[in-house]
Structure 1
């Protein structure tokens, strides 16, 4: 129902029930707004206020091992708790661990002790063995976790994750299907068969048995061991000072071993979902809303005032803002840019400009096209498209939320070996010059033997959002004016966009990355050859070598110098076009207190209180 058609009485009813209704065994009578409100029959929380918020896209999963975006982590950060977590001041503090980890003198061994008496939402005890199981599950190649590489810092982690089943592997097409082109083959030697009972087995059964043997051996060498129910010992490949930060990252959240092993689909339905965070899943109406309720078993449950949080799946940010403005939502993340600019100008007390470590960029498909010519295989054309943009006009006239024009890949907020701002020490690597851009474009076209008219079929893909659309339109216009290229625009559901990026089915795609931990590596390792989030398909051996140095050296200066050089190479090759560095503007109702935003996460609603 359109908001304009709601009566004053209905608006008042919606306001009272959304922000002030406490559960007394009754239902949630929040009024329908925008055609996507939670059902009027939805049960309210057992105690306290049910806070309403919006989530811009349907979560692809509520399994920490499989999640890959903020549309999932926003919810997971409230439903799970890692060994460490971020407190109300945004500091890294013990979560499930009873204290910060003990680290060996050589920086390779981390020992975590689990707090006494902790329980899962289903009352099972939480143990160190759950963490061993969970992290090994992430690394298991059968899990297919996109974020498994975050555990490559652990001894043997990468080797385990990269075990492949014997057989022939083919190059995938744009739809993710095998082509006739062989990529590589994994073969079995006689040594691989030793000790296995293979008599009378078919070739497929032998392959299965050998693969299982490889997995078992690789798994045994991973440096993740639960010595007992309370002690988790983690051994790293190389000293990685930021490793403890990763234990607060959602991929490393624990899952209940007993539940997961009993039901592979445990995370797909509220009736089987088990978690250990401040809130537990109560209802999940797909593409409509996710309702959570307070988890009395959480480590700090006594401090949680809310009875629960309901996230409506709301892609239309204008409708989401209407829901906030009428009082239905207690918080709205990333409001419409025009509205935000007006509220900032009026110094509206509901506006919060949260700090963020993130980069908004466009991925350029660097891979050679199976048919025809892909212009973005040419570095001069890639640089021309970047150089032709006026980033300052985008942040000042479109985003309007305190964002800053990108100066490279690594955003502000991360420090170097001396505790100085890393971005400042490596300088501004972005050059904007429409005249030079036109020259580079002409040079690149000549090198490929194509004309500027051949670029007019290019398509810029972005996930459905009014903000992304406006930025794409501005970029489209700037390229038309400065380069004489008229590209096309295409929007898609966020999960569809992610799927297309994984198989490189795009010309230009709206990308973005929010840091996972407090080190420049959280941005830099995205673009190594074959990286799971290297959607551009970029490959440069020198870049890879420098990143490997930065990952393996115990010397902080050597690490940082390697990453500085790597960023210079990346910005010279320009496989992506950085546009701006994120902030995270959000709106909070004046009568709601206790919401805070860590630098590396979305706002945390756990301690919110309606006054």
Structure 2
């Protein structure tokens, strides 16, 4: 029986696959204030080099993320911990951060304020441990096969730059006897059509990203598998009008224009005729898939019809002073060239032209350039998307606060900031949901983001590959996977 999987992954999403980063088993105790968490680590967890995974590794790793010298992009995700923000921003010290290894197997964490979703947060990669002795010995440990260590079911044995990664079963993994695969071979490519052709020829067992044009047939014949994905594909608007001409700035900063653009989009048509991956047409910013305190899906509120409302869109545009699009300047819609984003942007541009009478110029950039352009706010309207870091509405709301480093729209609303801040520490689940719904109300009124659809994940998986698991947050797990009859 074949006991390894060969697969193709697109290089742009490599960081979403954490094959070798396992999480320690934990037992939880909470004090009456819900401010202190005590984690008990399993004693048989080891790093791939044989070292024991200890609470000291966790303390070191979390403070390393917060260290200003590390310049970690996701350091803000740890600001829930006491003293974390002060240390990261230079006004506090590492000793004041509320993370302490009580002994080798006990980690104590103190929070700034009650955070009901803190346990969800600890499953996110920036909370993963690193081997303190390995990191301190070599600052470049993570870029070399000989020094790279992990603590999950597989360990890296080869890293061929821009070509492939090879992982084999980790003999030091505590549950190694349950791992059925001996090896994982990952080939890195940049063209999804080439990846699909290799998969179709039977030379690869799995592909991570599939061509849009093949999704319908692949799902029908069983070679593609659709997984849930907690995320929203949307357009982001530079609501400040920064770096735009005066006439373009005028329309970007007008809420009624943004509302009109939103209502002029037929999401049903885009999902049915363009993306074809079983995506759910959006009717809110926060996607479906998060349970609310009332037992319903948090995203049960319909802010707009997914099919659009052209009459209402025309009325809003007229109220903004651009009846039938007269006098409306040409706006530029920016997207990254990888994948099928161009087809989606073309469909949106056509709808805005047909339904509102406005002209749209399409512009594309390579991924790294595109990322920086959005960050620098040197765009007008751009394609965007967000997959949750954890299963809670807050992962979609806190990115739009005025101080968030992920707020590429330049959106600033004091009431919104206050609602989000209050919701973070609210322990009553019903009250907390109410606060977050009110925050989303503001977001969907101001429209710095125009939701298009809720993501799904479609993977190419050969029928003989069994039990590959894909989480709604996008993580792929091979610990239970196996090859059946090949």
User: Contact (CA 8 Å) 1:461, 1:506: kept in 2 or not?
Assistant: no
Is 1:604 the counterpart of 2:477 in the alignment? yes
Residue 398 of structure 2 aligns to a residue in which SS? helix
Residue 234 of structure 1 aligns to a residue in which SS? strand
Q: CA deviation at 1:356?
A: 1.6
2:6 matched residue in structure 1: 52
User: Contact (CA 8 Å) 1:359, 1:411: kept in 2 or not?
Assistant: yes
TM-score by length of 1: 0.74
Which residues of 2 match residues 450-529 of structure 1 at below 5 A?
A: 451-452=327-328, 454-456=329-331, 458-465=332-339, 467-529=340-402
Equivalent-residue separation in structure 2 for 1:371 and 1:343 (angstroms): 43
Equivalent-residue separation in structure 2 for 1:477 and 1:286 (angstroms): 41
Q: CA deviation at 1:572?
A: 0.4
Which residues of 2 match residues 39-438 of structure 1 at below 5 A?
A: 48-49=3-4, 51-58=5-12, 70-74=13-17, 76=18, 78-82=19-23, 96-97=24-25, 99-163=26-90, 214-216=91-93, 219-344=94-219, 347-370=220-243, 372-373=245-246, 374=249, 375-424=251-300, 426-429=301-304, 432-438=308-314
Q: Deviations over 1:369-399 (max 9, x none)?
A: 2463323222122222211111000111112
Task: Report the structure number with the largest CA radius of gyration.
Answer: 1
Residue 245 of structure 1 aligns to a residue in which SS? helix
User: Contact (CA 8 Å) 2:34, 2:114: kept in 1 or not?
Assistant: yes
Q: CA deviation at 1:420?
A: 2.0
Q: Deviations over 1:115-158 (max 9, x none)?
A: 11332122222110110111111122222222222212212222
Q: Deviations over 1:540-589 (max 9, x none)?
A: 11111100010011221221111000101000000011000111122211
Equivalent-residue separation in structure 1 for 2:111 and 2:338 (angstroms): 40
TM-score by length of 2: 0.92
Q: Deviations over 1:228-266 (max 9, x none)?
A: 111101112222232112222112111111222232222
Task: Go from structure 1 to structure 2 and tell me whether the alpha carbon gap of 1:312 and 1:536 turns closer, same or farther (over 3 Å shift).
Answer: farther
2:435 matched residue in structure 1: 562
Q: CA deviation at 1:498?
A: 2.2
Q: CA deviation at 1:463?
A: 4.4
Task: Go from structure 1 to structure 2 and tell me whether the alpha carbon gap of 1:105 and 1:348 turns closer, same or farther (over 3 Å shift).
Answer: farther
Residue 582 of structure 1 aligns to a residue in which SS? strand
Task: Go from structure 1 to structure 2 and tell me whether the alpha carbon gap of 1:428 and 1:106 turns closer, same or farther (over 3 Å shift).
Answer: same
Equivalent-residue separation in structure 2 for 1:459 and 1:378 (angstroms): 17
Equivalent-residue separation in structure 2 for 1:350 and 1:555 (angstroms): 45
Q: CA deviation at 1:406?
A: 0.6
Equivalent-residue separation in structure 2 for 1:79 and 1:430 (angstroms): 43
Equivalent-residue separation in structure 2 for 1:278 and 1:444 (angstroms): 58
Q: CA deviation at 1:492?
A: 3.1
Task: Go from structure 1 to structure 2 and tell me whether the alpha carbon gap of 1:299 and 1:504 turns closer, same or farther (over 3 Å shift).
Answer: farther
Q: CA deviation at 1:321?
A: 1.4
Q: CA deviation at 1:269?
A: 2.7
List alignment gaps of at least 5 residues for structure 1: 1-19, 22-47, 59-69, 83-95, 164-213
User: Contact (CA 8 Å) 1:238, 1:554: kept in 2 or not?
Assistant: no
User: Contact (CA 8 Å) 1:284, 1:290: kept in 2 or not?
Assistant: yes
